[in-house]
Chains A and B, each alone.
Chain A
Amino acid sequence: MTDPAEMPGPGAADHQARILIVDDEPHNRSLLEVMLTPEGFQFETANSGEGALACVARQPPDLILLDVMMPDMDGYEVAARLKGDSATNHIPIIMVTALGDREAILRGLNAGAEDFLSKPVDRAGLRVRVRNLLRLKAYSDYYSSFSQTLQKKVASRTTDLVERTRMLEQQAAVLTQHAALLDMAPNAIIVRDLEYRILFWNRGAELMYGWPRAEALGRVTYELLKTEFPEPIDSLSRALLLTGQWDGEVVHQTRDGRRLLVASRWGLQIGPEGTSSRVLTIHHDITEQSRADAEHRLLSQRLSLATAVAKVGVWEWDLASDGLTWDATMFEIYGLPPVVPMAYDKWTAMVVPEDLAHVEATLQSAIDRKGEGSAEFRIIRPDGDVRNITVAERAVLDDQGKVSRLIGVNMDVTERKDAEEALAQSRRNQLQFKDDFLSHVSHELRSPLTAIKQFTSILLGGLAGELNTAQREYQEIVLKNVDQLQSMIDDLLEVTRLETGKLTVEPERVSISDAITDTIDTLKGPARGKGVSLSWDVPSDLPAAYADRTRLRQILIILLDNAIKFTQDGGSARIRARQTDQDPPGLVVEVSDTGCGISPEIAENIFGRLYQVSDGTQSSRKGLGLGLFICKELVTRQGGEIWVSSQLEKGSTFSFTLPTFSLTSVIAPLLKNDKWPAESVALLTVDMKVPSSSSLDATREELSTEARSVVHRCLLPDLDVLLPAMDADTEGERFLIAAFADEKGAAGLADRLREQFKRLASLEERRVNISVSFSMLPPLPWKEGVSTELMVASMATHLEESVKHQEPREPIHHE
């Protein structure tokens, strides 16, 4: 008998056939194995349906011996599953059934089994069946695989061709479209293949790199553009293939050799076969931007360095949250550790309380005006150190144009302030020295001048023998010059007093017409000597001025003396006074002459210190040029202004203003925080009566001064005020005092005044009578809440009324 296994057949000799034996009984499996072993097969076994399927899936066998009766999954199901799967349906199955079970045989064949065996298995039958089936399968496998391969080859070739054509057409269309679009893009768009050869080069690339498309196509990008990559090109390529894209900054060179910093973005394009063959790259020139960025970085570095070095603290205040953001310097300035979270409240707590309102006001005004502001204030650091701070802030607007934040800086200016203070002190010291020096020199000059004047007078007085005409004339020249020197020294001392603040202005109620007539009287002589006529014009109803009597006279004398000095023989000088139209009305006094006039450029500087104009008669003699400077200072200190108008060869007019006297100007300083210092007011009257037998005017004036100083000594500042004399009196002096006090306080003040006057020996000696009396004023006639101005004005009226109703002055002979 020929062994069918030795028959030629496709594949049969190629390998040992693998047979899977499936049975839940180990004994049955071994039996089948033993029966077939001599045939030279390989065996696999499975003890269940699932095991069989798993085994087939692992490695499909050439044949399966399948027991029908198994728990869980019986043979029919295993057969049905294997035959239902195209991957396994070619594997022949021999069902092993119980003997004579027809139904089982039919079910097995229906389930797809190729053959069956009945138990107990006949050894020969088993071999034949297995061999036949194996042979069949080998042929089937052979043909099946052959035709399959053939079929596949044809089909795939066809599809491939069709698809390729279609894709190419599509791609061409899209590319054309894209190319047009890409040309419009401002960026350089380059398509290259994986070997960096340029496939596409848009208009943007032409413009950016200067290479025309025709010259760029086919070139290697990094050679054409001399690309400097941020990392080795290999690793870039790897990253691109791995992730499909890359972006970064590279340096490209243009055709004309310019280096561009370029932001590059690469994208891998996936081809139709799923392969990648081209890379789309977009390049954006960021050279300028990066320069700007670098500059910005540099600037901001410089700024923070500058703020740190200059100790400028930078802050930001968010209005909505009240949060403060501080830089390190801010914390340093405030002496706080830089970890403390800041808030507006914490800041205000460090500001010196009396400075807070001011600095907050400037912050608020910066917010209100949507603008800027600045202030200076002091802070108290945690270590108790007080520092001077300047702040400058600016409002920052949000989208709606509302102020959302303030940003600003703080600077510690304590050292600067100290230095400024030291500088100012040294300047003051220098000035003090200069003034002391001037004062000393001036006083010392007076002594020899005294001797010169003395002996000139003696000679002129004929005390050393009669002088002849020439001698007399020459001595008079000496005397005149001595007088000039004397007035220069006086001016010098006056200026020194002005600058050291030693010159005091004590304004009172002054009659302008008295001051003017007095001045004209004084200068009558010199005017007559020069042939200059003097006149004056004052309206009879001109109100009194609020001025310092002596200083007003001084101003008038300087101005009139100048007018005479600069006017030729036959000219005139005139003093006029009138009320101004201003509100409140002031007084203006004019001193005019018909002299040589002043050119405009001189007029501009004429009130400056040491400004000299040579006087007409003695062109070589200039004087110190201090007169008008003194005038200006004196006018200014009395709340007035001075100016000149002039026409060359026609004359000049010097004008100055003075405030009109009113009680309000005297009492206004007593009103503090809208409150008078006391509820009730007393009016004290001090009458001084000088006996008429004492005819010395000088003495009377001295007595007045003395009495005035006594009164001043007794007054309490901020509570009592000496009212100015309401009318001129030649008989004596009356002092009126408004005292903010109750009756007891007023009586106390009256007693003190009497006591002080008693101690004054000179009064007694001259038989001067002093009487002191007082009366309480009626209750103040206003209510709470009236304006400051109204309070002062009504108090003034109140006092004025009360003064008017004072008893008329009468000689008093007792005390």
Chain B
Amino acid sequence: MSKKKILVVEDDSDVRLGYYVLLTANDYATCFAADGAGAINEARKSQPDLIILDLGLPGGDGFVVLDRLRAMPNLSLIPVIVVSARDLQGNKERALQAGAKAFVQKPWDDGDLLGLIGQILGHPAGQTTEQDPPPS
């Protein structure tokens, strides 16, 4: 079974590197985008299994990216975890209503994030692959 691929949309290069180290170490394939336009292109090109989307992006609000993803037939079913430094209140509800699977507030706990990714990628219909528990 090929590795699950995760698209990380994040404008902060340090944080991108952090994702890379964490996700790679946990046996995920990764691809990256630093803005909204890049996110759509990368998603089309890579067809990831999961998208981690930061709301605060240069050149466009994360919600706009989310809406565009949901509107594209071949991308609309890719689960999205929305990540943001913004407040939980209001934004979480809005993200879920826009079709995100989860809302994670920055800074997150790596263990929690890995658990969430595992749950989402481990359970979709038709997928039977068991994910290894994340290293503690």
**Residues of chain A whose beta carbon lies under 8 Å from any beta carbon of chain B:** 443-444, 446-455, 457-458, 461-464, 482, 486, 493, 497, 502, 696, 698, 702, 705-706, 709, 761-762
- Residue B37 at the A interface, CB < 8 A? no
Contact of B96 among A444, A457, A706 (CB under 8 A): A706
Interface residues of B in 37-59 (CB under 8 A from A): 56
Which residue of chain B lies nearest to A694 when distances are taken between CB atoms in the complex? B123
Complex interface bits, B113-136 against A, C-beta within 8 A gives 1, otherwise 0: 000000100000000000000011
Q: Do A463 and B25 touch across chains, with their CB atoms under 8 A apart?
A: yes
Nearest CB in chain A to that of B96: its residue: A702
Docked CA distance A449–B85 (Å): 10
Pick the 10 closest A-B CB pairs, nearest first. A454-B18, A446-B85, A450-B107, A457-B110, A451-B14, A453-B107, A463-B25, A450-B106, A443-B85, A446-B106
Q: In the bound complex, what is the Cα–Cα distance between A462 and B110 (angstroms)?
A: 13
Q: Which residues of A contact B111 (CB under 8 A)?
A: 457
Set of chain A residues within 8 Å of B106, measured between Cβ atoms: 446-447, 449-450
Give 15 CB contacts A-B under 8 Å.
A443-B85, A447-B56, A451-B12, A451-B18, A453-B107, A453-B110, A454-B18, A457-B109, A458-B25, A458-B110, A462-B135, A486-B107, A493-B87, A497-B87, A762-B96
Q: CB-nearest residue of chain A relative to B136?
A: A461
In the complex, the answer to whether B93 meets A458 with C-beta atoms within 8 Å is no
Among B89, B107, B135, chain A packs the most CB atoms within 10 A around the CB of B107
Distance in angstroms from A144 CB to nearest chain B CB is 141
Contact (Cβ within 8 A) B22 A457: yes
Residues on B with beta carbons closer than 8 Å to the beta carbon of A486:
107
Contact yes or no, A446 B107, CB < 8 A: yes
Q: A449-B106, A454-B110, A461-B25 are in contact. Are A706 and B85 (CB under 8 A)?
A: no
Contacts of A462 in B (CB 8 A): 135
A453 surroundings in chain B (CB, below 8 A): 107-110
Quick one: which of A446, A452, A464 has the most chain B CB within 10 A?
A446
Report whether B21 and A447 are in contact in the complex, using a CB–CB cutoff of 8 Å: no
Of all chain B residues, the one with the shortest Cβ separation from A456 is: B110
B15 within 8 A of A: yes
| Cα of A452 to Cα of B106 in the assembled complex, Å | 11
> Would you give the shortest CB distance from B136 to chain A, in whole angstroms?
8
Residues of A within 8 A of B14 (CB): 448, 451, 454-455
- Asked if B2 is an interface residue, CB under 8 A from chain A, the answer is no
Q: A454 touching B85 by the CB < 8 A rule? A: no
- Out of A444, A449, A461, A702, which one reaches B110, CB within 8 Å? A461
Q: Is B4 an interface residue (CB 8 A)?
A: no
Task: Say yes or no: is B34 at the interface (Cβ < 8 Å to chain A).
Answer: no
Residue of A nearest to B83 (CB): A450
- The docked-state distance in angstroms from the alpha carbon of A679 to that of B110 is 57
Chain B contacts for A696, CB-based, 8 A: 119
- In the bound complex, residues from chain A placing their C-beta under 8 Å from that of B78 are none
B102: interface (CB < 8 Å): yes
Residues on B with beta carbons closer than 8 Å to the beta carbon of A446: 85, 106-107
* Residues of the A chain whose Cβ atoms lie less than 8 Å from the Cβ of B93: 705-706, 709
* Bound CA–CA A761/B79 (angstroms): 14
Tally B residues with Cβ within 8 Å of A: 27
Cα(A761)–Cα(B98), bound, Å: 10
B86 at interface, CB cutoff 8 A:
yes
Please indicate the chain B residues that have their CB under 8 angstroms from the CB of A458 in the complex. Answer: 18, 21-22, 25, 110
State in angstroms the CA–CA spacing of A449 and B111 once bound together.
16
A454 touches B96 (CB 8 A): no
**A455: nearest residue on chain B (CB-CB)?**
B18
Assuming A443-B86, A454-B22, A696-B119, is B107 touching A761 (CB within 8 A)? no
Assess the B110–A450 pair: CB atoms within 8 A.
no
Closest residue of chain B to A464 (Cβ to Cβ) is B21
Give Cα A762–Cα B109 distance, bound, in whole angstroms.
26
Set of chain B residues within 8 Å of A493, measured between Cβ atoms: 87
CA A315 – CA B15 in complex, angstroms? 74
- How distant is the Cα of A447 from the Cα of B97 in the complex, in angstroms? 25
Contacts of A464 in B (CB 8 A): 21
Report the nearest B residue to A454, measured CB to CB. Answer: B18
Interface residue from B15, B89, B97, B135 paired with A454 (Cβ < 8 Å):
B15
9 extra A-B contacts, CB within 8 A, seeds A454-B19, A463-B21 = A446-B107, A450-B18, A450-B108, A451-B15, A452-B107, A457-B109, A461-B110, A463-B22, A706-B93
Q: Which residues on the A side are within 8 Å of B19 (C-beta)?
A: 454
Chain B proximity of A252: nearest CB distance (Å): 89
B22: nearest chain-A partner, CB-CB: A458
The smallest beta-carbon distance between B115 and chain A, in angstroms, is 10
Chain A residues lying within 8 Å of B109, measured Cβ to Cβ, are 453, 457
Chain A residue at minimum C-beta to C-beta distance from B99: A761
Closest to B102 in A: A698
Q: Which residue of B lies closest to A452 (CB)?
A: B107
In the bound complex, how far is the Cα of B21 from the Cα of A462, in angstroms?
11
Contact digits for B2-22, partner A, Cβ 8 Å, 1 yes 0 no: 000000000010110011011
Instruction: Tell me if B89 and A497 are in contact (CB < 8 A).
Output: yes
B119 partner residues in chain A, CB cutoff 8 A: 696
Chain B residues whose CB sits within 8 angstroms of the CB of A447 once the complex forms: 12, 15, 56, 85, 106
Contact B107 A444 (CB under 8 A): no
Residue of B nearest to A482 (CB): B107
Bound CA span A447–B18, Å: 12
Q: Which residues of A contact B135 (CB under 8 A)?
A: 461-462
Tell me, in angstroms, the Cα distance from A486 to B89 when the chains sit together.
Answer: 17
Contacts of B136 in A (CB 8 A): 461
Question: What B residues does A448 contact at CB under 8 A?
Answer: 14
Q: Chain A nearest CB: distance from B127 CB in Å?
A: 15
Q: How far does the Cβ of A769 sit from chain B's closest Cβ, in whole Å?
A: 18
Contact residues in B for A705 (Cβ distance below 8 Å): 93, 96
Most buried by B among A448, A453, A461, A486: A461
Name B67-117 residues within 8 Å CB distance of A: 85-87, 89, 93, 96-97, 99, 102, 106-111
The answer to whether B15 and A450 touch across the interface, beta carbons within 8 angstroms, is yes
Instruction: A463 to B102: give the CA distance in the assembly, Å.
Output: 26
Chain B proximity of A553: nearest CB distance (Å): 14
> Which residue on B lies nearest to A443, using beta carbons?
B85
Chain B: which residue is nearest A459 at the CB level?
Answer: B21
In the bound assembly, the distance between CA atoms of A444 and B84 in angstroms comes to: 11
Contact present for B96 and A450 (CB under 8 Å): no
- Give the shortest distance, in Å, between A367 (CB) and chain B (any CB): 53
Q: Which residues of A contact B25 (CB under 8 A)?
A: 458, 461, 463
Bound CA–CA A702/B102 (angstroms): 9
Q: How far is the CA of A451 from the CA of B109 in the complex (A)?
A: 11
Residues of chain B within 8 A of A709, CB atoms compared: 93
What residues of B have a CB within 8 angstroms of the CB of A482 in the complex?
A: 107
User: Once bound together, how far apart are the Cα atoms of A443 and B21, in whole Å?
Assistant: 24
CB distance from A715 to the nearest CB of B (A): 17
List residues of chain B with CB within 8 A of the CB of A450.
12, 15, 18, 85, 106-108
Q: Which residue of A lies closest to B12 (CB)?
A: A447
The residues of A that contact B89 with a CB separation of less than 8 Å are 497, 502
Separation of A411 and B95 alpha carbons in the complex (Å):
55
**Minimum CB distance partner of A444 in chain B:** B85
What is the bound-complex CA distance between A464 and B86, given in angstroms?
30
CB of A131 to closest CB in B, whole Å: 154
| Across-interface contacts of A698 in B (CB, < 8 A) | 102
Smallest CB–CB gap between A767 and chain B, Å? 10
Complex CA distance for A698 and B96, rounded to whole angstroms:
12
Q: How far is the CB of B12 from chain A (nearest CB, A)?
A: 6
